[in-house]
A and B are shown apart, each in its own frame.
Chain A
Amino acid sequence: VRTNQLVNSAHLLALSQQEELEDLPKDYPLSPSEDEGDIDGERKHQKLLEAISSLDGKNRWKLAERSEASLKVSEFNVTSEGSGEKLVLSDLLGPVKTSSSLATVKKQLNRVKSKKTVELPLNKEEVERIHREVAFNKTSQALSKWDPIILKNRQAEQLVFPLKKEQSAFAPIEHVLSGWKARTPLEQEVFNLLHKNKQPVTDPLLTPVEKASLKAMSLEEAKMRRAELQRARALQSYYEARARREKKIKSKKYHKVLKKGKARKALREFEKLQKANPTAALEELEKIEKARMMERMSLKHQNSGKWAKSKAIMAKYDLEARQAMQEQLARNKELTQKLQVASDSEEEEEGAEEEGELVPDAVNEIQMDANGPNPWMLRNHLRGTGEAKVRDPEKLPEPVAHEASESEEEERPGAEEEILLNEFEERRSLRKKSTLNQDTEPVSRQEPKDSSSKEVLSELRALSQKLNRENQQCGKQNMSSTRTVPAVQREEPAEVEEEPLLLQRPERAHTVEELEELGKEECFQNKEVPKPMGEGQQSERNPNNQPGTPKEKKRKEEMIDLQNLLTTKSPSVKSLAVPTTVEELEDEEERDQKRMIKEAFAGDDVIRDFLKEKREAVEASKPKDVDLTLPGWGEWGGMGLKPSAKKRRRFLIKTPEGPPRKDKNLPNVIINEKRNVHAAAHQVRVLPYPFTHHQQFERTIQTPIGSTWNTQRAFQKLTTPKVVTKPGHIIKPIKAEDVGYRSSSRSDLSVVQRNPKQLSIRHKKQLKKNSVD
């Protein structure tokens, strides 16, 4: 409203300025009365208009004749009538050039000429249209404040409705009751009954009697009672806390002292009572007696309780526990004792004996142990030391005669580890000897490397190794040195060992050597003699192996045809050092297993089947040549006659070769290049709408959302529903206040009832703008 008023005032200001402009010729001497006011100006204006309209000369006379109207009469007595001459504008303007005093007139004239007529007011429809447009613009501007919220809600991962949590309103029963009135006669009757009893209907729900009773207790009384109660509560809590604290104390001494103190106190009190009131004391005594009897009857202090049992175990080691037990026994004795005062020395002795019996064995045992060494324990200890002693000679290094120690070990069933270690050593030495033999027979290196022979050899290998070992063992027995073993015996194993060696790469061999070294360091710290020999042997072998063969082998491997990868057997890599020994152990099992597998799959050759299948697939996928020969066309045709080779050649259309197969270089794979029709039925054909690239879509499909692949938390997050509604809750339309906007405090109605004039004022500016257009 205010803005409208402002606009209005501005408009008025503009109008007044215009008037000032019109008043400009104030200083003109010929028209001194011009400053009289608006009306005067208007009149002048009118006159001027008349004068101008009379310029064309047609109705000049007519105007002059209709002179009874005051309008035509000038107060300055300046009229054009009677002059009889035609006044031309150019005549008027002629002298203007010379006299400057006529400049203002000229200006006025110019202005009059330039001024248009005032337009008609806009018709009603037009005005309404403008109003509507303005209102629409305003409204849509106001509505666009919702844009961010709506966008947010549309993109939200999850929306929970109702948006605003409503507080559940509890209506007190009185309110419900007060809102309800008895209407039917029955209800009224019931109400009357209730009212007779003065049953309260409204808050507080107390009958007058109750109210009276409430009033009966005075304030002081209530306060006192409350204080009392408070004190009692405080005391109780204090005692409770104390008891808890005491209960927590773990010190046995403290508890003992406490108990004793209590007993003493009781005794003192009893004595006091005896003095003061013998009868009461007697009663008390009786009570005590009864308690003792009860205790006697019970199984307490009988060494059968949990505590006693645990103590019995502990008593072996713990002096204190022993004491506690003895104390308990004493108490038991005291309790179980008959109350005959006559206590003989004999009985005491008996008791002592009993005590001895009652104390568990363990206690005694420990005592014995404490006195002297426990024979059992002693035995154990001795055994341990004895073993250690027995072991010691073994551990003693035997630098020269290793074989001798071996024999010793074999004889004695010692620790298993020992045996294993020795065996290992034995095998190692054995292998060395065999490699040594290799050196002696260089012929063995030139071996046929056919796969077939290899297979045979590998089978032979195990057998020969075993044989070898047996030989060695007997050799050990017979000869002192193994170096002079007949070459014939060693030939075969040497070959066997050589075979894998050849297939190995140099690095691999190197690592094997390293392994060997390691093994040596491990086991042969004391075995000084064989070590240099072994090393020499290696150095001998290495130059033999490395310079020529490995490189050749390498080249050969490179040249291996990819197609034949499947058919050739993968070379079994056998290291020189450890595996040989292990193999020997597992040989039997392996062979068995192999045989079993072979027997089981005797019928089918999987590899050949696969190759055949692949060949077929390749053939099938190859484009076929088109044969267009027509038999009998241009030559004789019939049964048993074939078109000539020349003709066939002529009419055979060869199709160009397609692109190479994807599995061309993959020997053990068949890639089907035809689209799978069965799978296609389940596949999405076009990229669905929100996705822009097929990879995007595939990624969403490939990310699993189930709990099988995701953690519980992730699963919950992935499966949150987009819209959540609570059953039984009314979802109200979104409100400006809910989303943080200030809703218009003014009611919609108040605006409607306002003066509609203001509305038009508001749009005046707009109207004007429109009219200019």
Chain B
Amino acid sequence: MKVKMLSRNPDNYVRETKLDLQRVPRNYDPTLHPFEVPREYIRALNATKLERVFAKPFLASLDGHRDGVNCLAKHPKSLATVLSGACDGEVRIWNLTKRKCIRTVQAHEGFVRGICTRFCGTSFFTVGDDKTVKQWKMDGPGYGEEEEPLHTILGKTVYTGIDHHWKEAVFVTCGQQVDIWDEQRTSPICSMTWGFDSISSVKFNPIETFLLGSCASDRNIVLYDMRQATPLKKVILDMRTNTICWNPMEAFIFTAANEDYNLYTFDMRALDTPVMVHMDHVSAVLDVDYSPTGKEFVSASFDKSIRIFPVDKSRSREVYHTKRMQHVICVKWTSDSKYIMCGSDEMNIRLWKANASEKLGVLTSREKAAKDYNQKLKEKFQHHPHIKRIARHRHLPKSIYSQIQEQRIMKEARRRKEVNRLKHSKPGSVSIVSEKKKHIVAVVK
């Protein structure tokens, strides 16, 4: 009698090399894996909790400046290099991997108002309170050489900001007017004014490089076209805008950091309504910088904290603060979109992770898969109250916390008053102004 044996084809279970993964036969019958929603919910909850547990964003503090850090600049070619200018006229170049200062330059007398690097990364420019624009070599002076600028331009007025063109040997300064300079000349090739006011910051558009944006102390934001040597449009807000930053992935989008605690993201083609009003800060916003991916930006505030906002959300997703960090004056998002640097009043530059709970270093494929899965789970269940509560929970310093409460009360009172006014007036005589429109005073053509 023939006996039938159980037989398996080794091709089905023997791996070809020992580096291959073992084949694990799986049965995906849904009846064998019940309760998928509750199980995933629990997983999402755990992932959210773990995210909070591992949220340790602070990486390092670079100390060495002898006065408050007034401006920061990224190196266009090297991720590890950062430049910073202080209120005592000192410029320092830092190596982030070593977390050390590699060069110190006494650039100006008085404040270093602005600093920017050339697009090729060989030199950088500084402007200071001593009415000069100086160009410096990125590499230190050779042996026996004096530390001195490549070029020095003496101006008539104080320059308050500087930015370099993204492709050409052109830079722009601001002060009484916006000046466009050729690197080779000592006088500006073009000066643009619109009224008389002191312009605090000017920025080149990184995509359409002929566009410029500036903000002035008379509460306006002005856009310029370098090719036509003319301003384009002006928008006047409720309060002064401290600085603006262009989105590096979306040519016509920029964000303005305002004194009224808010940030405004504009589409430059329609300035009468901001695309989004970002509010969470409890004091003036002093600086803003976009992530190189263009999906988020970071803002530095006078309330001693920095916040990270998604571009399309009005509330911040993250707030960073430490006990010792004072008013944050400047902030930058590194070019690999992983880190954030901020310079503050108390002479330190701090390095933060852009994602607070992110694991640094090389991840194995399994780690990566787990990370992605957890991220997706958190996204999927983000609206569930428990998960939302845990994900949103942040510890805040007492001052910020109490200010938030206070402002909430104020806002509620204002809203109530508005509602009452609407209720007790003739229908149609009082109109409701949306939050977006509320802060725009005028758009000047």
Contacts and interface: CB of A to CB of B under 8 A. Distances in A.
Interface of A: 128-129, 131-133, 135-136, 138-140, 142-144, 146, 150, 153, 159, 161, 181, 183-184, 681-685, 688, 700-702, 704-711, 715-716, 718-721, 723, 725-736, 747-749, 751-753, 756, 759
Given A704-B36, A719-B372, A725-B293, 14 more contacts: A140-B252, A142-B208, A143-B268, A143-B269, A700-B380, A702-B36, A709-B30, A710-B28, A715-B373, A731-B337, A748-B165, A748-B210, A751-B228, A752-B180
A718 B372 CA distance: 9
B206 A733 contact: yes
B8 interface: no
Nearest to A700: B380
B10 interface: no
Interface residues of B, number: 70
A175 to B, nearest CB: 16
Nearest to B26: A711
Interface string B357-370: 00000000000010
B295 A708 contact: no
Contact of A730 (B77, B211, B383): B77
A748 B336 contact: no
Most chain A beta-carbon neighbours within 10 Å: one of B40, B143, B225, B227: B227
A140 B40 contact: no
A728 B40 contact: no
A752 B190 contact: yes
B37 A705 contact: no
Nearest to A131: B230
Contact of A135 (B225, B252, B292): B225
Contact of B336 (A135, A144, A720, A730): A730
A733 B231 CA distance: 24
A749 B208 contact: no
Ranked 9 nearest A-B pairs via Cβ: A731-B292, A733-B206, A183-B143, A733-B248, A751-B227, A704-B36, A140-B269, A748-B210, A719-B372
Contacts of A736: 207
B209 interface: yes
Contacts of A727: 336, 338
Contact of B293 (A685, A706, A723, A730): A723
A759 B386 contact: no
Contacts of A701: 37, 380-381
Given A688-B383, A730-B336, A731-B337, A159 B269 contact: no
A548 B363 CA distance: 80
Interface centre among B77, B211, B233, B293 (most CB of A within 10 A): B293
Contact of A161 (B143, B337, B369, B372): B337
Contacts of B227: 748, 751-752
A164 to B, nearest CB: 13
Interface string B15-51: 0000000000010101001001101110100000000
A495 B132 CA distance: 119
A766 to B, nearest CB: 13
Contacts of A710: 28
B166 interface: yes
Given A135-B225, A723-B293, A747-B168, A140 B79 contact: no
A101 to B, nearest CB: 55
Interface of B is mostly: loop
Nearest to B74: A730
A137 to B, nearest CB: 9
B73 to A, nearest CB: 14
Interface string B42-79: 01000000000000000000000000000000001101
B233 A733 contact: no
Interface centre among A734, A749, A751 (most CB of B within 10 A): A749
B253 to A, nearest CB: 8
B337 A725 contact: yes
B249 interface: yes
A143 B336 contact: no
A683 B381 CA distance: 10
B170 A748 contact: yes
Contacts of A709: 28, 30, 33, 36
Nearest to A691: B383
B142 interface: yes
B232 interface: yes
B375 interface: yes
A705 B189 contact: no
B386 A705 contact: no
B442 to A, nearest CB: 14
Contact of B226 (A706, A716, A723, A748): A748
Contacts of A734: 207, 248-249, 251, 294
B170 A146 contact: no
Contact of B209 (A144, A723, A748): A748
A706 B383 contact: no
B372 A706 contact: no
B385 A752 contact: no
A146 to B, nearest CB: 5
A132 B294 CA distance: 29
Contact of B372 (A140, A181, A720, A729): A720
A575 B273 CA distance: 82
B37 A702 contact: yes
A751 B223 CA distance: 18
Nearest to B169: A749
B229 interface: yes
A135 B230 contact: yes
Contact of B232 (A135, A702, A721): A135
B170 A749 contact: yes
B318 interface: no
Contacts of B166: 733
A701 to B, nearest CB: 6
B148 interface: no
Contact of A684 (B225, B233, B383): B383
Contacts of B385: 681-685
Nearest to A731: B292
Contacts of A735: 207
B355 to A, nearest CB: 10
A544 B383 CA distance: 70
B230 A132 contact: yes
A749 B185 CA distance: 13
Contacts of A728: 79, 336
B182 interface: yes
Contact of A132 (B169, B211, B226, B231): B231
28 contacts: A129-B445, A135-B225, A136-B223, A139-B225, A140-B269, A142-B208, A143-B252, A153-B294, A183-B143, A184-B143, A681-B386, A684-B383, A700-B380, A702-B37, A706-B373, A708-B39, A709-B33, A710-B28, A716-B369, A721-B372, A730-B336, A731-B292, A732-B292, A733-B206, A734-B207, A749-B182, A749-B189, A756-B229
B250 interface: yes
Which of B77, B249, B338 has the most C-beta atoms of chain A within 10 angstroms of its own C-beta?
A: B249
Contacts of B376: 705, 718-719
Given A129-B445, A144-B269, A708 B33 contact: yes
A15 to B, nearest CB: 28
A732 B77 CA distance: 10
Contacts of A135: 225, 228, 230, 232
B417 interface: no
Contacts of B329: none
A726 to B, nearest CB: 8
Given A139-B211, A705-B373, A721-B375, A730 B230 contact: no
B144 interface: yes
